[in-house]
Amino acid sequence: MAKRKRNVPLLFWVSEQEKDMIQQKMEQLGTDNMSAYLRKIAVDGYVVKLDLPELKELISLLRRSSNNLNQLTRRVHETGRVYDADLEDVRQSYDRLWDAASKILSSLAAIQ
């Protein structure tokens, strides 16, 4: 009996949906050998992990801006008045949002 070139088995579990997705990708590639496909993806494939602290900052700014806008809207409905200071706060919040979004876009553009 011939010795196997690959003698270390690996076993992992997937859901039915994940299995279907793997099979769809195999069909797109034109292969029906799952072992070869999974081995090729595991060895030669890559995973992109974007760790952008700017994205966390953007989400935080979005939450604060949304909250500020909701509070301003409530106050306008209650009093019927809009104050310049409130509008300036909203404008500054949106400026910070655009700055954060620009940083994220610059970071993404630098990825090659």
Using DSSP's 3-state secondary structure scheme, residue 34 falls into helix
Tell me what the pLDDT averaged over the chain comes to.
Answer: 87
Asked, for residue 19, whether it belongs to a domain, the answer is yes
Verify that 100 and 80 share a domain, yes or no.
yes
Domain that holds residue 33: 11-47
Percent of the chain with pLDDT over 90: 29
Say what the pLDDT of residue 38 is. 93
Verify that 61 and 35 share a domain, yes or no.
no
Look at residue 20 and tell me whether its pLDDT is greater than 90.
yes
Asked, for residue 3, whether it belongs to a domain, the answer is no
Cα(60)–Cα(27) distance, integer angstroms: 41
Verify that 58 and 104 share a domain, yes or no.
yes
Tokens of 48: 């992109």
Longest CA–CA separation in the chain, Å = 89
Domain count, the chain: 2
Asked, for residue 84, whether it belongs to a domain, the answer is yes
Mean predicted confidence (pLDDT) in 72-98: 88
Kindly report, residue by residue over 4-17, the tens digit of the pLDDT. 888 899 999 999 99
> pTM of whole model > 0.75?
no
The DSSP line for 58-92 is HHHHHHHHHHHHHHHHHHHHHHS---HHHHHHHHH
